[in-house]
């Protein structure tokens, strides 16, 4: 009898929204150097790829230092049935690129992601170009390469220019030098990923909805203040077009097994509904830089 031993998979597959060469692609390699990647058409598809076993983890952008929160992400996270297990920060170094022989002076149209274009608003205005939204930065580069039109350019990463055979006409064209995007790495809830050590500086992300009573948000968050926990982020967004109540996405420095966090979450539960922990993960070194 011949027994066939299947080779063990040594590198995880990470799904992301966009084409090869997108900043999310760079973030995947930052999380898991040498990993396999699975480009997806949108964020929901990247999440679904994990549930369907096509990918082990999903790499998703959540915030940019210029454009703010990534649209749709906070609507997708609570219902994703995935947990945040890590974060990373990618400096965004936008390049203007076009086909061989193109010049900056000859460019009339520029294509890029809906968040990348506002990050370069002043530069684009100065050049007098017409801006067009693409599904992502790398897809814009791919489209420009396919068109072969020297009046068309893309704003994307340097790696995208190399992948799609484009010339870089200008570098670092973002309006602010601090342009940085934060990404999170997400794994299935069923994986039971271990929590960071309780002494590790970490973040806990969660969503909740306050009850429709006076000072509900003030009272719901009071437990974090009285227990000495630093709430580093809180954002509200509408649920299903309801103007009466909002859902909140929050991040706090703390570990869910610490006494202070447990007391704060208990107090949150007195004034909030649908409290859902999205994950606890080590703080990236970028936060201390």
| Cβ contact 173:94 at 8 Å | yes
- Look up 181 and say whether it is catalytic: yes
Q: Which of 31, 43, 183, 224 is catalytic?
A: 183
Q: Concatenated DSSP letters for 139-183?
A: HHHHHHHHH--TTEEEEE-HHHHHHHTPEEEEE---SSTT-EEEE
Cα separation, 69 vs 92, in Å, equals 15
d(CA 84, CA 58): 9
Q: Is 286 a catalytic residue?
A: no
Query: Catalytic pick from 13, 181, 204, 280?
Result: 181
Joined tokens for residue 231: 């709430």
Query: ∠98-102-104 over CA atoms, to 5°?
Result: 85
Helix axis angle for 259-271 and 216-226, nearest 10°, is 170
- The residues carrying an active-site annotation are 181, 183
């Amino acid at each position: 009898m011949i027994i066939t031993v299947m080779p063990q998979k040594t590198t995880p597959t990470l799904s992301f929204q966009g084409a090869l060469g997108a900043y999310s692609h760079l973030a995947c390699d930052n999380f898991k150097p040498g990993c396999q990647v699975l480009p997806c058409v949108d964020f929901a598809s990247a999440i679904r790829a994990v549930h369907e076993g096509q990918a082990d983890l999903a790499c998703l952008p959540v915030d940019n230092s210029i454009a703010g929160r990534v649209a749709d992400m906070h609507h997708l996270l609570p219902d994703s049935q995935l947990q945040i297990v890590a974060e990373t920060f990618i400096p965004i170094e936008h390049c203007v690129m076009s086909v061989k022989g193109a010049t900056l002076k000859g460019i009339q149209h520029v294509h890029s992601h809906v968040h990348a274009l506002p990050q370069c608003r002043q530069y684009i205005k100065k050049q007098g170009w017409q801006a067009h939204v693409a599904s992502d930065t790398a897809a814009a580069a791919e489209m420009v390469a396919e068109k072969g039109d020297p009046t068309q350019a893309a704003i994307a990463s340097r790696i995208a220019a190399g992948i799609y055979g484009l010339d870089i006409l200008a570098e670092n064209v973002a309006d602010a030098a601090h342009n940085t995007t934060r990404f999170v790495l997400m794994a299935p809830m069923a994986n039971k990923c271990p929590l960071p050590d309780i002494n590790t500086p970490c973040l806990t992300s969660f969503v909740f909805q306050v009850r429709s009573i006076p000072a509900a948000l003030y009272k719901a968050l009071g437990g974090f203040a009285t227990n000495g926990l630093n709430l580093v982020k809180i954002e509200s967004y509408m649920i299903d077009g309801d103007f009466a109540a909002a859902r909140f996405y929050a991040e706090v420095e703390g570990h869910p097994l610490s006494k202070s966090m447990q007391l704060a979450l208990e107090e949150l539960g007195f004034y909030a509904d649908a409290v859902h922990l999205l994950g606890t993960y080590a703080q990236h070194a970028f936060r201390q830089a």
